[in-house]
Amino acid sequence: MADVTFQEEPVTLLGEDISEGDKAPDFTVLSNDLKEVSLEDYKGKVKLIAAVPSVDTGVCSEETKRFNEEADKLDNVQVLTISMDLPFAQGRWCAANGVKKLDTLSDHRDADFGEKYGVLIKELRLLARAVFVVDSENIVKHVEYVSEVTNYPDFDKALAAAKEAE
């Protein structure tokens, strides 16, 4: 398991670590209009998946806005931001921040994504910050479990991996 802290305190991540070269596990989350969404819904596309604790906090908000801006520069790449926020809150946040080029998805119902990707924080029932790039064949090409949840991921590495996987 990845060693991760939240505000410099160690936390326990539930689920299995994902590694480069793994087949990406399918998962079920909810869209902002409460429809079930799975990895298979993005079949044939490269997926840049950002797990965040809550889009309504400073670092998560800025990260999501940055990936939204970068989405325009990527061909055949779908950017997904997954959090435990309620779908309604995600939708309001996207509308208030002009985020239209990526999908915000909620794992609040079952924590299915969190457990399958090893990012569910046991103590808080939030997702740890992580980025996964999955190619069009659903093979994991890049993984970053951010060691301190309140820090940003390495945007450049994630975006380079997404471009390389296109």
Catalytic residues: 60
Helix, strand, coil % over all residues of the chain, rounded to 5: 25, 30, 45
Per-residue burial over 13-36, b = 16 or more CB atoms within 10 Å of its CB, e = otherwise: bebeebeeeeebbebbbbbbeeee
**Amino acid occupying residue 58:** G
